[in-house]
Structure 1
């Protein structure tokens, strides 16, 4: 009886099983950067990352004070302040930017065609030169103008010129990603796939090489005319090319009528949009990225400190809400990005490690952790390792597992 019943269930649920596997393939098994740095195309050259690193370190030296003073300023646990501070300094030397986006959209503006043509070629050549060095970031790419009618041709032309130049230099690697701005419909995602297929064909690239992120900064990206959210359809329409959903703080807030003084990553309309983004992306392997704060750490020491406190708090808030990536718009935001992020992982390491070790070895941690929670704990530790907050030696000592084992547990 059971064999016949199970066969009937398999028959009835075969289509649903296949649909579930197709729509929700799970983690892609890739490192998610903790931030995306946006640099206007006309201000980008091969020395930009080095310039940002030097400016970030200079801001830290000028305004940071000692490790204890900085921890107190940012309301970080002082018990591991020196350790976090040293790791941040090392990060700024080793890998100051994890994800670089050369901006041809709002950060660049509307220019004459010949000017943007030249900027696209120059930026791609500068990026190709950078990618041949040890200073290259793990992820890199460009943001193009939207596929709405007024900017469609310009966005496509810039993308084509940029990819052509990068391909000619032999520097188009797995880390390349495109950000598509101001998406308003899933039809635009279908159109983007057509664009990428055409460019791949013209450049003799393997099908599926070019990936892109959807910039969620319009009301239409959150709520369609029929009252549903279009984001799942957008991800599906991307045909496996969509790698991320990036929240645009200020365009989205302004489009909902939020006054400029109250536009923020923590405004209720922002939280609602990001909740929808997280739900739409869950189980798909698509990364979710928070937006930015436009309060820059510049000016007097008091002004820098106020901006740092805000940025640090917002970064921590996003992490606690399960959003592990955000935008940075100024070099002096790098110290607080890393300080807040490293503190988050250092604070939680001991408890996460204790629970994981008990789960793997059958001990008692005081928690009854199930497989899903164990995966979340492993994911927490793995993210800390990938960004530099946690050492592999600590993982081995505290948990008794190597990196491959941790990765399997986190991404199963």
Structure 2
């Protein structure tokens, strides 16, 4: 027996017509997670200090500073992290195999102002070194440059450095798959639109497909949180980026200084920093754009007491932004790799058993005291998937404890079907 209805086909067609623009807007501007890897950190080094061997050297230096596996275990215990022995083994392996996930060769604050001739030389040298690292399979998964900002005093220098770097890369073959370009100190949407224009011109010059070049935006000015028009440009610029913006990065110290916060109180956990990052987090939601927290300039250097105190601070700040749903941050020194990985791995491993149990119950429809909905199942899947990708968790652990395959995990996390050959292993 057919159900009773009141709306005729004309009314139903009108519904579709009324919402067509909404459907188009959501599909274009809020496509959701595309599944690409997000590094758990970005390391910055002055461009003139980079060599292809630098990541391996950073890893070796960090492991030495920690005192090897036994030192990592002792530090993990001191920091109150569970299963310190297993954490130490995993972090030591990470420091040996993939010490830096994302590396930026810096032509901005870390490089400073040089003569045009000198910066030209280093921009070309940076490209050649990146190519050499990629060809030798020693480059981090993500690598690129941060050039100067598009404000008037440094604009022409910024564009020239970017042009030289990209053109030199193009002269040596295909672009690295993990290439990242960083546009710093953005203050207006027009600067992002200009970066899109530059990318378009570079693509035409090298006969590349549209949107071959993408970039991340550093949010270091209050003008991106609230403009003179009373709008939030950090949300607007994402949709003015022509699908090229990969990430928003919070800049701790430039942003704090812009608000007049005294140097002694500038921090990733200042209330002003939290407000800015909360706005950014809402802006990127469902856009597929990633987000990164900033850095702490308290480095693990000096006497043992100072090093331990800096490690404790860094570990706490890393854990803090992870708990707040920000899965990436900046590291400024090789010794910070120690607590970057200890804190990150502890976060995923400490939460794994509960997340795996809830996901298993959801998938297999096992009755439990927690009734999770699809949105929460997606969050559980994303949590475990991030732990797998960074090396905190193994595929074997996930299959055993969650009772699901990796492709099922990724299908839940990304809310779409993932084939076995496409799953992260």
Report the TM range for the smaller structure's normalisation.
Answer: over 0.9
2:14 matches 1:8: yes
Counterpart pick for 2:76 among 71, 78, 86: 71
Residue 17 of structure 1 corresponds to which residue in structure 2?
A: 23
Matches within 5 A, 1:223-372: 223-372=226-375
Residue 202 of structure 1 corresponds to which residue in structure 2?
A: 205
Matches within 5 A, 1:82-161: 82-161=85-164
Residue 419 of structure 2 corresponds to which residue in structure 1?
A: none
SS in 2 for 1:331: coil
Tell me by how many angstroms 1:254 deviates.
0.4
Given that residues 52 and 132 in structure 2 are in contact (C-alpha distance below 8 angstroms), is that contact kept between their aligned partners in structure 1? yes
SS in 1 for 2:180: strand
Find runs of 4+ consecutive structure 1 residues off by over 6 angstroms: none
Given that residues 150 and 158 in structure 2 are in contact (C-alpha distance below 8 angstroms), is that contact kept between their aligned partners in structure 1? yes
Residue 52 of structure 2 corresponds to which residue in structure 1?
A: 46
SS in 1 for 2:35: coil
Residue 168 of structure 2 corresponds to which residue in structure 1?
A: 165
Given that residues 189 and 237 in structure 2 are in contact (C-alpha distance below 8 angstroms), is that contact kept between their aligned partners in structure 1? yes
2:182 matches 1:179: yes
TM-score by length of 2: 0.94
Given that residues 354 and 365 in structure 1 are in contact (C-alpha distance below 8 angstroms), is that contact kept between their aligned partners in structure 2? no
Counterparts of 1:374 and 1:155, CA distance in 2: 44
Given that residues 248 and 291 in structure 1 are in contact (C-alpha distance below 8 angstroms), is that contact kept between their aligned partners in structure 2? yes
Tell me by how many angstroms 1:13 deviates.
1.1
Tell me by how many angstroms 1:289 deviates.
0.2
Tell me by how many angstroms 1:171 deviates.
4.7
**Which sections of structure 2, spanning at least 5 residues, go unmatched?**
1-5, 416-425
SS in 2 for 1:182: coil
Superposed CA deviations along residues 290-346 of structure 1, whole A, max 9, x for unmatched, are 000000001111110000000000000000000000000000000100000000000
Question: Root-mean-square deviation (CA), in Å?
Answer: 1.2
**Which sections of structure 1, spanning at least 5 residues, go unmatched?**
none
Counterparts of 2:131 and 2:73, CA distance in 1: 40
Q: How many residues align?
A: 409
TM-score by length of 1: 0.97
